[in-house]
């Protein structure tokens, strides 16, 4: 890795006395350095110690948090600065080598108010940003002694659902975290990859790209919870429904990442539709879902929506977004609700089938009784148990198979996990996570 001096001079501010931290778009910490293109991906540009707060209100006193700005790459191969927040538990066993989990939050928005580097800090104004709620789940990883890396995997511009670049940022964030002296980690540190929904999609990109982009990283396993599979199909199925704000968020961001798509949007979308896409750039996920429920793109375009979706520029984007075309080298666990109202099980089935065909060691767990949001919570003990086994010195062999169960929550083996999860959530609510 290229030699580059860490910036240890960033002052440590007592954020408990600060009303609001700057958003990433306004924060010089996220700015590129003059020599960025000359740096090796993953090289740390600057660092700072920060506080973390639940809902921006309850500062967590049981952990140490650092933010690392590092060199990464965007969708078009251009060098950029990316940021990850590294959480270090205070209760880590003495003498035990550190273990890292790269946890990808469900950012699922364009607004930088939803990025973990902002939303998890004291004073953040991020009502409706999903990472703020996920801190309760992340606390379960900290309780087990893991160091956790929380990458802003959408980049500074928030291109929700963009392909490949989440993988660059996650993998380069792992490189940065394991090279950062205060973590005690090295290039030999074992790493797990974990995410659900939009975070599962980003985790899938990281797992798929690791063999070619970062083969030196010791990824022991990847947990992909409801990982979308085919964002283009998700757009078609969600448009006009209760969760229509989600595909609208995707278009709001990707029209800037793909010039051809942006041109199609400008040519065919009414002024009211453009105004909605612009407004979405400042909304959190929950705000977008509530305000644009049942919106139909057909009402905001000149030709029928089917004709717009058939344009070559749109087809090219939809094809580019599809997961499963590269094979992860690490073992993979995929968890999906059969009756998911947001991510169609057929799309995830197809992603898993592509993995199996490519020879990936993949365990696929389908749940009948849950839906999208409940499975994130009900499936957590099973996902954490699977990941912990991958970290063991003699991990249980993987059997490539698909299982469909009535409910993951009905297994007695999961019940102790729920108790630990509730305890970790209670700690987070009272400011004692980690």
Integer angstrom CA distances of residue 288 from 215, 252, 282? 38, 11, 9
Distance from C-alpha of 194 to C-alpha of 327, rounded to nearest angstrom: 17
Instruction: Identify the bridge partners of residue 151 per DSSP, sorted by sequence position.
Output: 84
DSSP category for residue 361:
-
Average pLDDT, integer, range 64-80: 96
Q: Is the pLDDT confidence value at 5 over 50?
A: no
This prediction's pTM: 0.94
Hey, how many other C-beta atoms are within 10 angstroms of the C-beta on 407? 15
Give the per-residue pLDDT at 94.
63
List, edge to edge, every strand of the sheet that includes 100-104: 44-50, 63-73, 79-89, 147-151, 100-104, 190-196, 218-225, 332-337, 362-367, 401-405
| Residue among 143, 99, 101, 148 nearest 120 (CA) | 148
Q: Is the pLDDT confidence value at 332 over 90?
A: yes
Question: Token pair of 59, please?
Answer: 């500062």
For the chain, give the mean pLDDT: 93
**187-224 pLDDT, tens digit each:** 999 999 999 999 999 999 999 999 999 999 999 999 99
Which residues in 155-178 are b (16+ Cβ under 10 Å) and which e? bbbbbbbbbbbbbbbbbbbbbbbb
Residue found under tokens 């929700």: 160
Distance from C-alpha of 279 to C-alpha of 316, rounded to nearest angstrom: 26
Give the per-residue pLDDT at 13.
42
Going along the chain from its start, the domains and CATH numbers come out as 15-230+322-429 (3.40.50.1820), 231-320 (1.10.260.130)
Distance from C-alpha of 264 to C-alpha of 432, rounded to nearest angstrom: 49
Question: Token pair of 16, please?
Answer: 């408990």
């Amino acid at each position: 890795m290229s030699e580059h001096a860490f910036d240890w001079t960033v002052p440590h501010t007592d954020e408990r006395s600060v009303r609001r931290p700057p958003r990433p778009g306004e924060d010089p910490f996220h700015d590129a350095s003059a020599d960025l293109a000359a740096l090796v991906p993953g090289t740390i540009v600057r660092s700072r110690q920060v506080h973390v707060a639940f809902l921006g209100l309850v500062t967590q006193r049981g952990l140490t948090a650092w933010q690392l700005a590092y060199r990464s790459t965007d969708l078009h191969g251009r060098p950029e600065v990316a940021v990850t927040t590294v959480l270090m538990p205070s209760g880590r066993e003495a003498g035990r080598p550190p273990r890292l989990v790269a946890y990808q939050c469900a950012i699922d928005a364009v607004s930088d108010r939803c990025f973990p580097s902002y939303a998890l800090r004291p004073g953040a104004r991020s009502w409706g940003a999903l990472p703020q709620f996920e801190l309760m789940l992340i606390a379960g990883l900290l309780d087990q002694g893991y160091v956790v890396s929380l990458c802003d995997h959408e980049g500074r511009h928030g291109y929700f659902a963009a392909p490949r670049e989440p993988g660059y940022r996650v993998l380069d964030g792992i490189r940065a975290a394991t090279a950062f002296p205060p973590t005690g980690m090295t290039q030999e540190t074992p790493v797990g990859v974990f995410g659900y929904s939009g975070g599962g999609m980003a985790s899938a990109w990281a797992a798929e790209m690791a063999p070619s982009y970062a083969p030196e990283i010791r990824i022991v396993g990847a947990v992909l919870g409801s990982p979308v599979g085919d964002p283009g199909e998700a757009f078609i199925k969600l448009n006009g429904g209760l969760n229509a704000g989600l595909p609208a968020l995707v278009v709001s961001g990707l029209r800037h990442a793909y010039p051809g798509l942006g041109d199609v949007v400008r040519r065919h979308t009414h002024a009211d539709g453009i105004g909605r896409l612009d407004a979405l750039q400042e909304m959190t996920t929950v705000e977008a879902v509530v305000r644009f429920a049942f919106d139909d793109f057909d009402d905001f375009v000149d030709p029928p929506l089917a004709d717009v979706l058939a344009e070559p520029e749109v087809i090219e984007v939809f094809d580019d977004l599809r997961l499963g075309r590269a094979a992860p080298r690490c073992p993979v666990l995929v968890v999906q609700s059969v009756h998911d109202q947001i991510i169609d099980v057929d799309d995830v089935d197809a992603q898993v089938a592509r993995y199996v065909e490519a020879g990936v060691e993949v365990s696929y767990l389908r749940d009948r009784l849950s839906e999208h949001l409940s499975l994130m919570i009900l499936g957590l003990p099973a996902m954490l148990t699977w990941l912990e086994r991958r970290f063991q010195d003699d991990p249980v062999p993987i059997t490539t198979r698909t299982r469909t169960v009535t409910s993951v929550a009905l297994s007695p083996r999961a019940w102790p996990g729920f108790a630990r999860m509730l305890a970790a959530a209670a700690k987070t609510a009272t400011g004692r996570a980690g």
